[in-house]
Structure 1
Amino acid sequence: MTRHIGVSALAIAMTLGGAAFAQDGGNQNQQMQNQQQAAQGQNQDIQVLSQWNYDELYQGGLRAETMLDADVFGPNMDEIGSVENVILDRDNQIVAIIAQVGGFWDIGDTHIAVPWDKVQMTQGGFQIPVTEDTVAEYGLYAEPSIVNKSNLQSTRVVDDDLIAGRQTWKLTGLIDDYAVLNTGAGYGYIDDAIFTEDGKLDAVVVQPDYAGYGVGGAYAYPFYGYGYGWTPDAEAYDLRYEADELAEMDPFDYGRMQGPAQTAMEPAGQDMRGETGEQQQD
Protein backbone atom coordinates (compact mmCIF):
# COMPACT_ATOMS: atom_id res chain seq x y z
CA MET A 1 0.00 0.00 0.00
CA THR A 2 2.78 2.37 0.92
CA ARG A 3 4.42 1.73 -2.40
CA HIS A 4 1.27 2.60 -4.31
CA ILE A 5 0.82 5.82 -2.35
CA GLY A 6 4.39 6.77 -3.09
CA VAL A 7 3.92 6.18 -6.79
CA SER A 8 0.72 8.24 -6.78
CA ALA A 9 2.39 11.05 -4.92
CA LEU A 10 5.29 10.94 -7.33
CA ALA A 11 2.91 11.05 -10.28
CA ILE A 12 1.07 14.03 -8.83
CA ALA A 13 4.33 15.83 -8.15
CA MET A 14 5.54 15.15 -11.66
CA THR A 15 2.23 16.42 -13.07
CA LEU A 16 2.33 19.59 -11.01
CA GLY A 17 5.97 20.07 -11.77
CA GLY A 18 5.33 19.60 -15.46
CA ALA A 19 2.54 22.15 -15.39
CA ALA A 20 4.75 24.63 -13.55
CA PHE A 21 7.56 23.97 -16.01
CA ALA A 22 5.19 24.48 -18.91
CA GLN A 23 3.98 27.76 -17.40
CA ASP A 24 7.53 28.93 -16.73
CA GLY A 25 8.50 27.88 -20.22
CA GLY A 26 5.60 29.85 -21.64
CA ASN A 27 6.61 32.92 -19.66
CA GLN A 28 10.19 32.53 -20.81
CA ASN A 29 9.07 32.19 -24.42
CA GLN A 30 6.99 35.34 -24.10
CA GLN A 31 9.92 37.19 -22.56
CA MET A 32 12.18 36.00 -25.36
CA GLN A 33 9.65 37.18 -27.94
CA ASN A 34 9.47 40.58 -26.27
CA GLN A 35 13.25 40.80 -26.19
CA GLN A 36 13.49 39.79 -29.84
CA GLN A 37 10.86 42.38 -30.76
CA ALA A 38 12.75 45.05 -28.85
CA ALA A 39 16.00 44.03 -30.52
CA GLN A 40 14.35 44.22 -33.91
CA GLY A 41 13.09 47.67 -32.99
CA GLN A 42 16.61 48.85 -32.31
CA ASN A 43 17.52 47.95 -35.87
CA GLN A 44 14.74 49.98 -37.48
CA ASP A 45 15.45 53.30 -39.13
CA ILE A 46 14.95 56.27 -36.83
CA GLN A 47 14.07 59.64 -38.35
CA VAL A 48 16.79 62.25 -37.88
CA LEU A 49 15.04 65.11 -36.08
CA SER A 50 17.06 67.75 -37.91
CA GLN A 51 15.35 66.47 -41.08
CA TRP A 52 11.90 66.25 -39.49
CA ASN A 53 9.40 69.09 -39.69
CA TYR A 54 5.71 69.64 -39.17
CA ASP A 55 4.76 70.55 -42.74
CA GLU A 56 3.04 67.26 -43.61
CA LEU A 57 1.26 67.21 -40.26
CA TYR A 58 -0.06 70.71 -40.84
CA GLN A 59 -1.14 70.00 -44.42
CA GLY A 60 -2.76 66.58 -44.03
CA GLY A 61 -2.86 65.62 -40.37
CA LEU A 62 -5.81 64.73 -38.18
CA ARG A 63 -5.67 65.05 -34.40
CA ALA A 64 -6.48 62.09 -32.18
CA GLU A 65 -8.13 64.52 -29.77
CA THR A 66 -10.48 65.58 -32.56
CA MET A 67 -11.45 61.96 -33.19
CA LEU A 68 -12.04 60.84 -29.61
CA ASP A 69 -15.49 61.88 -28.36
CA ALA A 70 -16.37 63.18 -31.84
CA ASP A 71 -20.04 63.08 -32.76
CA VAL A 72 -21.28 60.14 -34.81
CA PHE A 73 -24.01 60.62 -37.40
CA GLY A 74 -26.26 58.11 -39.13
CA PRO A 75 -26.98 57.81 -42.88
CA ASN A 76 -29.41 60.74 -42.71
CA MET A 77 -26.92 62.88 -40.73
CA ASP A 78 -28.90 62.55 -37.53
CA GLU A 79 -26.63 62.46 -34.49
CA ILE A 80 -26.69 58.96 -33.01
CA GLY A 81 -23.74 58.84 -30.62
CA SER A 82 -20.05 59.54 -30.13
CA VAL A 83 -16.64 57.93 -30.66
CA GLU A 84 -15.35 56.05 -27.63
CA ASN A 85 -12.13 54.66 -29.04
CA VAL A 86 -10.09 54.01 -32.16
CA ILE A 87 -8.63 50.58 -32.93
CA LEU A 88 -5.36 50.23 -34.86
CA ASP A 89 -3.48 47.23 -36.23
CA ARG A 90 0.19 46.32 -35.92
CA ASP A 91 0.95 48.59 -38.90
CA ASN A 92 -0.47 51.51 -36.86
CA GLN A 93 -3.35 51.87 -39.31
CA ILE A 94 -6.91 52.53 -38.13
CA VAL A 95 -9.09 49.45 -38.66
CA ALA A 96 -12.23 50.47 -36.78
CA ILE A 97 -13.85 52.97 -34.46
CA ILE A 98 -15.71 52.06 -31.30
CA ALA A 99 -18.80 54.20 -30.86
CA GLN A 100 -21.51 54.44 -28.25
CA VAL A 101 -24.85 54.90 -30.00
CA GLY A 102 -28.57 54.49 -29.61
CA GLY A 103 -29.40 56.40 -26.46
CA PHE A 104 -32.68 57.55 -27.99
CA TRP A 105 -33.47 54.19 -29.64
CA ASP A 106 -35.58 51.55 -27.95
CA ILE A 107 -32.45 49.46 -27.35
CA GLY A 108 -30.78 52.15 -25.23
CA ASP A 109 -27.04 52.83 -25.24
CA THR A 110 -24.79 50.21 -26.82
CA HIS A 111 -21.23 49.95 -28.15
CA ILE A 112 -20.55 49.10 -31.76
CA ALA A 113 -17.46 48.48 -33.88
CA VAL A 114 -17.54 50.12 -37.31
CA PRO A 115 -14.83 49.20 -39.85
CA TRP A 116 -12.77 52.20 -40.91
CA ASP A 117 -13.62 51.70 -44.59
CA LYS A 118 -17.28 52.31 -43.71
CA VAL A 119 -16.58 55.55 -41.84
CA GLN A 120 -16.86 58.93 -43.54
CA MET A 121 -15.47 62.15 -42.12
CA THR A 122 -18.07 64.86 -42.02
CA GLN A 123 -18.55 68.30 -40.51
CA GLY A 124 -18.17 67.88 -36.78
CA GLY A 125 -17.59 64.14 -36.68
CA PHE A 126 -18.07 60.84 -38.48
CA GLN A 127 -20.90 59.46 -40.57
CA ILE A 128 -21.53 55.72 -40.30
CA PRO A 129 -24.07 53.41 -42.03
CA VAL A 130 -25.78 52.41 -38.80
CA THR A 131 -29.49 52.70 -38.04
CA GLU A 132 -31.74 51.30 -35.33
CA ASP A 133 -32.60 48.46 -37.70
CA THR A 134 -28.97 47.59 -38.57
CA VAL A 135 -27.21 48.29 -35.28
CA ALA A 136 -27.00 44.58 -34.44
CA GLU A 137 -24.86 44.03 -37.54
CA TYR A 138 -22.19 46.25 -36.00
CA GLY A 139 -22.33 44.79 -32.52
CA LEU A 140 -19.03 44.83 -30.67
CA TYR A 141 -18.79 41.05 -30.93
CA ALA A 142 -20.91 40.48 -34.03
CA GLU A 143 -19.56 37.89 -36.45
CA PRO A 144 -18.08 40.39 -38.96
CA SER A 145 -16.62 42.59 -36.22
CA ILE A 146 -12.89 43.17 -35.95
CA VAL A 147 -13.32 42.43 -32.25
CA ASN A 148 -14.62 38.94 -32.98
CA LYS A 149 -11.71 37.78 -35.13
CA SER A 150 -9.25 35.14 -33.95
CA ASN A 151 -6.52 37.70 -33.28
CA LEU A 152 -8.74 39.26 -30.59
CA GLN A 153 -9.61 36.15 -28.62
CA SER A 154 -8.19 37.73 -25.49
CA THR A 155 -10.38 40.86 -25.67
CA ARG A 156 -12.92 41.74 -23.04
CA VAL A 157 -14.94 44.78 -21.99
CA VAL A 158 -14.11 46.52 -18.74
CA ASP A 159 -16.14 49.54 -17.62
CA ASP A 160 -17.49 50.03 -21.13
CA ASP A 161 -13.96 50.26 -22.50
CA LEU A 162 -12.49 47.88 -25.02
CA ILE A 163 -9.31 46.00 -24.13
CA ALA A 164 -7.80 45.09 -27.49
CA GLY A 165 -5.79 41.96 -28.18
CA ARG A 166 -2.25 41.46 -29.36
CA GLN A 167 -2.88 42.03 -33.06
CA THR A 168 -4.67 45.33 -32.53
CA TRP A 169 -4.48 48.08 -29.98
CA LYS A 170 -6.46 51.00 -28.64
CA LEU A 171 -5.62 54.61 -29.30
CA THR A 172 -6.29 55.26 -25.61
CA GLY A 173 -3.43 52.85 -24.88
CA LEU A 174 -1.08 55.55 -26.15
CA ILE A 175 -2.74 58.87 -25.27
CA ASP A 176 -1.96 60.05 -21.73
CA ASP A 177 1.07 57.76 -21.51
CA TYR A 178 4.50 58.75 -20.18
CA ALA A 179 7.14 59.75 -22.73
CA VAL A 180 10.76 58.83 -22.01
CA LEU A 181 14.13 59.46 -23.64
CA ASN A 182 16.18 56.66 -25.18
CA THR A 183 18.12 56.60 -21.91
CA GLY A 184 14.94 55.70 -20.05
CA ALA A 185 14.75 59.07 -18.29
CA GLY A 186 11.33 60.67 -18.05
CA TYR A 187 10.71 63.50 -20.51
CA GLY A 188 7.03 64.37 -20.69
CA TYR A 189 3.45 63.29 -21.24
CA ILE A 190 1.71 62.24 -24.47
CA ASP A 191 -1.14 64.68 -24.88
CA ASP A 192 -2.22 63.96 -28.46
CA ALA A 193 -1.34 62.11 -31.66
CA ILE A 194 -1.54 62.97 -35.36
CA PHE A 195 -2.90 60.72 -38.12
CA THR A 196 -2.47 60.99 -41.87
CA GLU A 197 -5.61 61.49 -43.95
CA ASP A 198 -5.80 57.76 -44.68
CA GLY A 199 -5.70 56.80 -41.01
CA LYS A 200 -2.02 56.05 -40.42
CA LEU A 201 -0.63 57.13 -37.05
CA ASP A 202 2.21 59.47 -37.91
CA ALA A 203 3.27 61.38 -34.80
CA VAL A 204 2.82 61.75 -31.06
CA VAL A 205 2.38 65.14 -29.44
CA VAL A 206 4.27 65.47 -26.17
CA GLN A 207 4.21 68.11 -23.47
CA PRO A 208 7.68 68.11 -21.85
CA ASP A 209 8.06 68.22 -18.09
CA TYR A 210 8.73 71.89 -17.40
CA ALA A 211 10.28 71.21 -14.00
CA GLY A 212 12.86 68.92 -15.55
CA TYR A 213 13.56 70.63 -18.87
CA GLY A 214 12.32 74.21 -18.57
CA VAL A 215 10.21 73.82 -21.70
CA GLY A 216 6.46 74.26 -21.95
CA GLY A 217 3.97 73.71 -24.74
CA ALA A 218 3.44 70.84 -27.16
CA TYR A 219 5.92 69.19 -29.53
CA ALA A 220 5.28 66.59 -32.23
CA TYR A 221 7.68 63.70 -32.78
CA PRO A 222 7.68 60.72 -35.17
CA PHE A 223 5.70 57.74 -33.89
CA TYR A 224 7.52 54.41 -33.50
CA GLY A 225 5.07 51.62 -32.72
CA TYR A 226 5.07 47.91 -33.44
CA GLY A 227 8.31 46.81 -35.08
CA TYR A 228 10.27 49.14 -32.81
CA GLY A 229 9.85 47.18 -29.59
CA TRP A 230 6.80 49.17 -28.41
CA THR A 231 3.58 47.54 -27.22
CA PRO A 232 0.42 49.22 -25.89
CA ASP A 233 0.92 47.72 -22.44
CA ALA A 234 4.41 49.23 -22.10
CA GLU A 235 4.94 51.34 -18.98
CA ALA A 236 6.04 54.30 -21.10
CA TYR A 237 6.54 55.33 -24.71
CA ASP A 238 10.17 55.59 -25.89
CA LEU A 239 10.68 58.71 -28.00
CA ARG A 240 13.95 57.22 -29.34
CA TYR A 241 15.84 60.49 -28.92
CA GLU A 242 18.10 62.28 -26.44
CA ALA A 243 17.20 65.49 -24.66
CA ASP A 244 19.54 67.70 -26.73
CA GLU A 245 17.94 66.42 -29.96
CA LEU A 246 14.43 67.23 -28.73
CA ALA A 247 15.53 70.70 -27.59
CA GLU A 248 16.08 71.70 -31.23
CA MET A 249 12.38 71.36 -32.08
CA ASP A 250 9.92 74.25 -32.32
CA PRO A 251 6.52 74.10 -30.58
CA PHE A 252 3.74 72.46 -32.54
CA ASP A 253 1.11 74.96 -33.74
CA TYR A 254 -2.33 73.32 -33.87
CA GLY A 255 -3.71 76.42 -35.54
CA ARG A 256 -1.79 75.58 -38.72
CA MET A 257 -3.53 72.22 -39.16
CA GLN A 258 -5.69 73.18 -42.10
CA GLY A 259 -5.63 69.94 -44.09
CA PRO A 260 -8.88 68.48 -45.50
CA ALA A 261 -9.11 65.78 -42.83
CA GLN A 262 -8.81 68.13 -39.86
CA THR A 263 -11.02 70.88 -41.25
CA ALA A 264 -13.69 68.35 -42.24
CA MET A 265 -13.87 67.10 -38.66
CA GLU A 266 -14.11 70.52 -37.02
CA PRO A 267 -17.59 71.48 -35.80
CA ALA A 268 -19.22 74.25 -37.79
CA GLY A 269 -18.01 77.66 -36.66
CA GLN A 270 -14.94 76.37 -34.85
CA ASP A 271 -11.73 78.26 -35.56
CA MET A 272 -8.48 76.55 -34.61
CA ARG A 273 -6.29 79.51 -35.49
CA GLY A 274 -4.31 80.78 -32.55
CA GLU A 275 -4.26 77.40 -30.74
CA THR A 276 -0.59 76.59 -30.40
CA GLY A 277 1.70 74.53 -28.27
CA GLU A 278 2.81 77.68 -26.44
CA GLN A 279 1.12 80.85 -25.29
CA GLN A 280 0.55 83.51 -27.91
CA GLN A 281 2.85 86.49 -27.74
CA ASP A 282 1.43 90.01 -27.78
Structure 2
Amino acid sequence: MTKALMTSALALAMAMGIGQAGAATQNSQAMDLKDWDRTALNQGWSAKALLDAEVFGPNNEEVGDVDDILIGPDGKIRAVIVETDAFLNIGDVEARIAWDRIGPGPEEESISVPLSEETIEEFRSDYDEVAQERRVFRARELIGDAVRVKDGGGYGRIDDLVFGRDGRIQAVTVNADYGYGYGVGPYAYPFYGYERGWQPGMGHYDLPFSRDQIASYEAYDRDLGGPFD
Protein backbone atom coordinates (compact mmCIF):
# COMPACT_ATOMS: atom_id res chain seq x y z
CA MET A 1 0.00 0.00 0.00
CA THR A 2 1.43 3.37 -0.96
CA LYS A 3 1.94 6.10 1.58
CA ALA A 4 -0.89 8.15 0.00
CA LEU A 5 -3.29 5.22 0.23
CA MET A 6 -2.26 4.49 3.82
CA THR A 7 -2.83 8.13 4.73
CA SER A 8 -6.26 8.10 3.10
CA ALA A 9 -7.21 4.87 4.85
CA LEU A 10 -6.09 6.27 8.20
CA ALA A 11 -8.06 9.47 7.65
CA LEU A 12 -11.15 7.47 6.72
CA ALA A 13 -10.81 5.26 9.80
CA MET A 14 -10.41 8.30 12.03
CA ALA A 15 -13.46 9.95 10.44
CA MET A 16 -15.52 6.79 10.98
CA GLY A 17 -14.38 6.61 14.57
CA ILE A 18 -15.29 10.22 15.18
CA GLY A 19 -18.69 9.67 13.56
CA GLN A 20 -19.37 6.61 15.71
CA ALA A 21 -18.29 8.44 18.85
CA GLY A 22 -20.51 11.36 17.90
CA ALA A 23 -23.48 9.06 17.44
CA ALA A 24 -22.85 7.43 20.81
CA THR A 25 -22.64 10.85 22.45
CA GLN A 26 -25.90 11.91 20.86
CA ASN A 27 -27.67 8.75 22.04
CA SER A 28 -26.31 9.19 25.56
CA GLN A 29 -27.70 12.72 25.73
CA ALA A 30 -31.33 11.62 25.30
CA MET A 31 -33.05 12.65 28.52
CA ASP A 32 -35.24 10.41 30.60
CA LEU A 33 -38.82 11.24 29.65
CA LYS A 34 -39.79 11.12 33.33
CA ASP A 35 -37.47 14.08 33.93
CA TRP A 36 -38.68 16.18 31.02
CA ASP A 37 -40.90 19.09 32.04
CA ARG A 38 -43.47 19.29 29.27
CA THR A 39 -45.31 22.20 30.86
CA ALA A 40 -42.91 24.59 29.09
CA LEU A 41 -44.50 23.51 25.81
CA ASN A 42 -47.75 25.12 26.92
CA GLN A 43 -46.16 28.52 26.29
CA GLY A 44 -45.18 27.53 22.76
CA TRP A 45 -47.08 27.37 19.50
CA SER A 46 -47.98 24.89 16.79
CA ALA A 47 -46.50 24.68 13.30
CA LYS A 48 -49.85 23.43 11.97
CA ALA A 49 -51.53 26.56 13.34
CA LEU A 50 -49.22 28.68 11.14
CA LEU A 51 -49.28 26.50 8.03
CA ASP A 52 -52.04 27.60 5.64
CA ALA A 53 -52.70 30.72 7.75
CA GLU A 54 -53.96 33.80 5.94
CA VAL A 55 -51.31 36.38 5.07
CA PHE A 56 -51.92 40.11 4.87
CA GLY A 57 -49.82 42.84 3.31
CA PRO A 58 -48.97 46.35 4.56
CA ASN A 59 -52.47 47.70 3.82
CA ASN A 60 -54.24 44.81 5.57
CA GLU A 61 -55.18 43.31 2.22
CA GLU A 62 -55.02 39.53 1.99
CA VAL A 63 -52.12 38.52 -0.24
CA GLY A 64 -51.93 34.74 0.19
CA ASP A 65 -51.35 32.01 2.73
CA VAL A 66 -48.45 30.31 4.50
CA ASP A 67 -47.24 27.41 2.39
CA ASP A 68 -44.32 26.31 4.55
CA ILE A 69 -41.87 27.17 7.32
CA LEU A 70 -38.11 27.15 6.69
CA ILE A 71 -36.01 25.90 9.62
CA GLY A 72 -32.24 26.04 10.07
CA PRO A 73 -29.85 23.35 11.40
CA ASP A 74 -30.21 24.79 14.92
CA GLY A 75 -33.96 24.15 14.81
CA LYS A 76 -34.74 27.85 14.59
CA ILE A 77 -37.08 29.37 12.01
CA ARG A 78 -35.37 31.25 9.21
CA ALA A 79 -38.39 32.30 7.16
CA VAL A 80 -41.85 31.39 5.95
CA ILE A 81 -42.85 30.65 2.38
CA VAL A 82 -45.97 32.57 1.34
CA GLU A 83 -47.92 31.43 -1.69
CA THR A 84 -49.57 34.34 -3.45
CA ASP A 85 -51.37 35.08 -6.69
CA ALA A 86 -52.16 38.66 -5.77
CA PHE A 87 -49.46 40.23 -7.94
CA LEU A 88 -47.95 40.19 -11.42
CA ASN A 89 -50.87 38.35 -13.06
CA ILE A 90 -48.68 35.29 -13.61
CA GLY A 91 -50.37 32.80 -11.29
CA ASP A 92 -49.08 31.46 -7.98
CA VAL A 93 -45.78 32.88 -6.77
CA GLU A 94 -43.75 31.78 -3.77
CA ALA A 95 -42.33 34.53 -1.59
CA ARG A 96 -39.77 33.95 1.14
CA ILE A 97 -40.24 36.27 4.12
CA ALA A 98 -37.61 36.37 6.88
CA TRP A 99 -38.99 35.46 10.29
CA ASP A 100 -38.02 38.79 11.85
CA ARG A 101 -40.20 40.61 9.28
CA ILE A 102 -43.41 38.82 10.22
CA GLY A 103 -46.02 40.15 12.63
CA PRO A 104 -49.59 39.45 13.75
CA GLY A 105 -52.29 39.92 11.12
CA PRO A 106 -55.63 41.71 11.41
CA GLU A 107 -57.60 38.45 11.74
CA GLU A 108 -57.33 35.55 14.15
CA GLU A 109 -54.42 33.20 13.39
CA SER A 110 -53.26 35.39 10.50
CA ILE A 111 -49.90 37.06 9.92
CA SER A 112 -48.76 40.33 8.39
CA VAL A 113 -45.80 40.62 6.01
CA PRO A 114 -44.20 43.46 3.98
CA LEU A 115 -45.39 41.92 0.73
CA SER A 116 -46.87 44.15 -1.95
CA GLU A 117 -46.75 44.66 -5.70
CA GLU A 118 -43.75 46.94 -5.17
CA THR A 119 -41.80 44.42 -3.06
CA ILE A 120 -42.79 41.06 -4.58
CA GLU A 121 -39.58 40.79 -6.63
CA GLU A 122 -37.52 41.26 -3.47
CA PHE A 123 -39.15 38.26 -1.84
CA ARG A 124 -39.75 35.87 -4.74
CA SER A 125 -38.36 32.40 -4.15
CA ASP A 126 -38.84 28.78 -5.14
CA TYR A 127 -38.21 25.41 -3.53
CA ASP A 128 -35.35 24.55 -5.86
CA GLU A 129 -33.50 27.62 -4.62
CA VAL A 130 -34.35 26.86 -1.00
CA ALA A 131 -33.26 23.23 -1.33
CA GLN A 132 -29.74 24.34 -2.20
CA GLU A 133 -29.26 25.96 1.18
CA ARG A 134 -27.21 23.67 3.38
CA ARG A 135 -29.23 22.10 6.16
CA VAL A 136 -32.29 24.34 5.82
CA PHE A 137 -35.45 22.24 5.77
CA ARG A 138 -39.19 22.74 5.47
CA ALA A 139 -41.68 21.95 8.23
CA ARG A 140 -43.72 19.85 5.80
CA GLU A 141 -40.69 17.64 5.21
CA LEU A 142 -40.84 16.56 8.85
CA ILE A 143 -44.59 16.57 9.50
CA GLY A 144 -46.04 13.27 8.31
CA ASP A 145 -42.78 11.31 8.46
CA ALA A 146 -42.96 7.80 9.91
CA VAL A 147 -41.61 7.43 13.45
CA ARG A 148 -39.54 4.49 14.70
CA VAL A 149 -38.46 3.61 18.24
CA LYS A 150 -34.88 2.88 19.24
CA ASP A 151 -35.24 -0.88 19.53
CA GLY A 152 -36.88 -1.19 16.14
CA GLY A 153 -40.34 -1.13 14.71
CA GLY A 154 -42.79 1.52 13.62
CA TYR A 155 -44.51 3.71 16.17
CA GLY A 156 -46.58 6.30 14.30
CA ARG A 157 -46.15 9.56 12.40
CA ILE A 158 -45.06 13.11 13.16
CA ASP A 159 -48.24 15.12 13.65
CA ASP A 160 -46.92 18.57 14.53
CA LEU A 161 -43.94 20.66 15.64
CA VAL A 162 -43.99 22.76 18.80
CA PHE A 163 -41.97 25.98 18.70
CA GLY A 164 -40.88 28.13 21.63
CA ARG A 165 -41.49 31.86 21.60
CA ASP A 166 -37.93 32.27 20.32
CA GLY A 167 -38.90 30.44 17.11
CA ARG A 168 -36.93 27.28 17.90
CA ILE A 169 -38.40 23.77 17.74
CA GLN A 170 -38.92 22.44 21.24
CA ALA A 171 -40.72 19.18 20.47
CA VAL A 172 -42.36 16.98 17.90
CA THR A 173 -45.77 15.46 18.52
CA VAL A 174 -46.49 11.94 17.33
CA ASN A 175 -49.75 10.19 16.55
CA ALA A 176 -49.17 6.54 17.41
CA ASP A 177 -50.46 3.72 15.24
CA TYR A 178 -53.65 2.11 16.48
CA GLY A 179 -51.97 -1.27 16.63
CA TYR A 180 -49.14 -0.08 18.82
CA GLY A 181 -51.12 -0.63 22.01
CA TYR A 182 -50.40 2.57 23.93
CA GLY A 183 -53.18 4.82 22.66
CA VAL A 184 -53.18 7.11 19.66
CA GLY A 185 -51.86 10.25 21.37
CA PRO A 186 -50.60 12.72 20.34
CA TYR A 187 -47.40 12.26 22.32
CA ALA A 188 -44.79 15.02 22.66
CA TYR A 189 -41.07 14.23 22.49
CA PRO A 190 -38.02 16.53 22.73
CA PHE A 191 -36.63 17.56 19.36
CA TYR A 192 -32.94 16.66 19.31
CA GLY A 193 -32.09 18.36 16.08
CA TYR A 194 -31.21 17.86 12.48
CA GLU A 195 -29.09 14.76 11.77
CA ARG A 196 -29.96 13.24 15.13
CA GLY A 197 -32.37 10.53 14.07
CA TRP A 198 -33.67 12.52 11.11
CA GLN A 199 -32.67 14.56 8.11
CA PRO A 200 -34.65 15.90 5.14
CA GLY A 201 -35.58 13.24 2.63
CA MET A 202 -35.19 10.26 4.99
CA GLY A 203 -38.95 9.71 5.23
CA HIS A 204 -38.70 8.52 8.83
CA TYR A 205 -37.83 9.95 12.24
CA ASP A 206 -35.96 7.82 14.79
CA LEU A 207 -36.82 8.43 18.43
CA PRO A 208 -33.94 7.87 20.89
CA PHE A 209 -36.33 5.98 23.19
CA SER A 210 -37.18 2.30 23.49
CA ARG A 211 -40.60 0.67 23.63
CA ASP A 212 -40.21 0.24 27.38
CA GLN A 213 -39.42 3.94 27.85
CA ILE A 214 -42.58 5.06 26.09
CA ALA A 215 -44.88 2.27 27.31
CA SER A 216 -46.43 4.32 30.13
CA TYR A 217 -45.92 7.75 28.57
CA GLU A 218 -48.91 10.08 28.83
CA ALA A 219 -50.42 11.80 25.81
CA TYR A 220 -49.96 15.53 25.28
CA ASP A 221 -53.37 16.86 24.29
CA ARG A 222 -52.80 20.59 24.70
CA ASP A 223 -54.37 22.58 21.86
CA LEU A 224 -51.72 25.14 20.91
CA GLY A 225 -52.32 28.22 18.77
CA GLY A 226 -50.07 30.12 16.40
CA PRO A 227 -47.04 32.36 17.05
CA PHE A 228 -49.07 35.49 17.81
CA ASP A 229 -51.98 33.95 19.72
Aligned counterpart, 2:142: 174
- Residue deviations 1:101-128 (CA, integer Å, cap 9, x gap): 1336634421111111111133322111
Is the contact between residue 171 and residue 188 of structure 2 (CA under 8 Å) also seen in structure 1? yes
Q: Distance in 2 between matches of 1:125 and 1:226?
A: 28
Distance 1:37 1:224, change over 3 A: farther
Distance 1:250 1:54, change over 3 A: same
Aligned counterpart, 1:74: 57
Of all paired residues, the percent bearing the same amino acid is: 33
1:49 maps to amino acid: L
Is the contact between residue 49 and residue 109 of structure 2 (CA under 8 Å) also seen in structure 1? no
Aligned counterpart, 1:268: none
Is the contact between residue 71 and residue 126 of structure 1 (CA under 8 Å) also seen in structure 2? yes
State whether structure 2 residue 184 is matched by structure 1 residue 216: yes
Residue 43 of structure 1 aligns to a residue in which SS?
helix
Is the contact between residue 174 and residue 190 of structure 1 (CA under 8 Å) also seen in structure 2? yes
Is the contact between residue 197 and residue 206 of structure 2 (CA under 8 Å) also seen in structure 1? no
- Of 101, 111, 118, the residue aligned with 1:126 is 111
Q: Distance in 2 between matches of 1:80 and 1:38?
A: 48
Shift of 1:253: 1.8
Aligned counterpart, 2:40: 56
- Residue deviations 1:123-175 (CA, integer Å, cap 9, x gap): 3221111111111010116xxxxxxxxxxxxx627xxxx64543211111110
Q: Distance in 1 between matches of 2:53 and 2:24?
A: 36
State whether structure 2 residue 131 is matched by structure 1 residue 137: no
- Residue deviations 1:59-96 (CA, integer Å, cap 9, x gap): x2111111111111111221110011111111011001
Q: CA RMSD in A?
A: 2.6
Aligned counterpart, 1:109: 92
Q: Distance in 2 between matches of 1:84 and 1:34?
A: 39
Is the contact between residue 230 and residue 237 of structure 1 (CA under 8 Å) also seen in structure 2? yes
Aligned counterpart, 2:72: 89
- Residue deviations 1:27-50 (CA, integer Å, cap 9, x gap): xx8xx9799657524313212100
Unpaired runs of 5+ in structure 2? 1-7
Shift of 1:188: 1.0
- Residue deviations 1:191-227 (CA, integer Å, cap 9, x gap): 1111111210111110111212241221111112225
Residue 64 of structure 2 aligns to a residue in which SS?
strand
- TM-score, normalised to structure 1, is 0.68
- Residue deviations 1:213-259 (CA, integer Å, cap 9, x gap): 2412211111122252531122411111011211232211223x47x
Q: Distance in 2 between matches of 1:34 and 1:77?
A: 55
State whether structure 2 residue 221 is matched by structure 1 residue 249: no
State whether structure 2 residue 24 is matched by structure 1 residue 42: yes
Unpaired runs of 5+ in structure 1? 1-24, 142-154, 266-282
Residue 116 of structure 2 aligns to a residue in which SS?
coil
Shift of 1:54: 2.3
Residue 92 of structure 1 aligns to a residue in which SS?
coil
Aligned counterpart, 2:158: 190
Is the contact between residue 83 and residue 94 of structure 2 (CA under 8 Å) also seen in structure 1? yes
2:128 maps to amino acid: R
- TM-score, normalised to structure 2, is 0.82
Larger Rg: 1
